[in-house]
């Protein structure tokens, strides 16, 4: 039960934090008047609303808990980490090395997220996916991206 409270308090804190960020950002702009609202007006009030909602979320669970809320735990981190790494690899490589190498690396990193496949399966898919992508995007849809380039 204490874990559940922890999640909702974190969630509420997250919403309050975003509200505060919005309010802080809005102070660097002119609020204007309600007749002629400035660029700071809308962010400020949405920020205030967020702070209020965040506070409600933090205390809400005290009176609306349901059975389905139990059993929360932190999900495993392997798959999120690897799949974000895959996107990062693609982002870093696409303009330096072109489509084939960047997708090869991205897919290989991503395939590591599945622990049930063999290394040969992973390598096969890492070659197959960029090959199919080149066929579809470069030759099928004539996307303006080099298949391979060298601009490290």
Partner 1 sequence: MSDFASNLALGFSVAFSWQAMWYCFVGVTLGTFIGVLPGIGALAAIALLLPLTFGMEPAHALIMLAGIYYGSNYGGSTASILLNLPGTPSSAVTCIEGYPMSQQGRAGVALFMTAIASFIGSICGMLIMAIFSPPIAALAFSFSAPEFFSLMVLGMVAASTLASGSPIKGLAMIGLGLILGMVGRDLYSGLLRFSYGVDQLYEGLPLVAVALGIFGLPEVIKNAGQITGRTVEARSISFASMWPTRDDWRRSWGAMFRGTGLGSFFGALPGTGGLLASFMSYATERRVAKDPSRFGKGAIEGIAGPEAANNAAVQTAFIPTLTLGIPGDIVMAIMLGALTIHGIQPGVSVINNHPDLFWGLLVSFLFGNLMLLILNIPLIGLWVRILAIPYWVLYPFIIAFICIGVYSVSNSVVDLYVLMFFGVLGILMNILRFEPAPLVLGLILGPMLEENLRRSLTLYRGSYTVFLTRPISALFIGIAVLILAWTIYGMFRARARRRAALAAGGE
Q: Which is nearer to partner 1, 32 or 150 (CB)?
A: 32
Q: CB under 8 Å to 135, separation ≥6 — which residues?
A: none
For the chain, count helices (H), then strands (E).
5, 0
In the complex, the smallest distance separating the C-beta of residue 103 from partner 1, rounded to whole angstroms, is 5
In the complex, the smallest distance separating the C-beta of residue 76 from partner 1, rounded to whole angstroms, is 9
What is the contact mask toward partner 1 in residues 92 to 131, using x (rule: CB under 8 A)? --xx---x--xx--xx--xx-xxxxx---x---xx--xx-
How far CA 145 is from CA of 90, 100, 134, 140, 152, in Å, comes to 13, 10, 9, 13, 16
Q: Which is nearer to partner 1, 30 or 148 (CB)?
A: 30
Sequence-ordered strand ranges (E) for the chain? none
Give the footprint of partner 1 on residues 41-70 (CB under 8 A).
42-43, 46-47, 49-50, 53-54, 56-57, 60, 63-66
């Amino acid at each position: 039960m204490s874990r559940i409270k922890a999640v909702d308090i974190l969630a509420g804190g997250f919403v309050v934090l975003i509200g505060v960020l919005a309010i802080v950002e809005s102070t660097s702009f002119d609020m204007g008047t309600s007749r002629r609202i400035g660029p700071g007006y809308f962010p400020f009030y949405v920020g205030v609303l967020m702070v209020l909602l965040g506070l409600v979320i933090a205390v809400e669970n005290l009176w609306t808990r349901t059975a389905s809320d139990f059993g929360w735990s932190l999900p495993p981190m392997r798959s999120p980490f690897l799949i974000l790494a895959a996107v990062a690899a693609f982002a870093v490589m696409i303009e330096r090395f072109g489509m084939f190498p960047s997708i090869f690396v991205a897919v290989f990193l991503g395939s590591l997220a599945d622990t049930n496949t063999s290394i040969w399966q992973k390598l096969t898919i890492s070659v197959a996916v960029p090959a199919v992508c080149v066929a579809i995007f470069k030759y099928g849809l004539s996307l303006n991206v080099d298949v391979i380039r060298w601009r490290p």
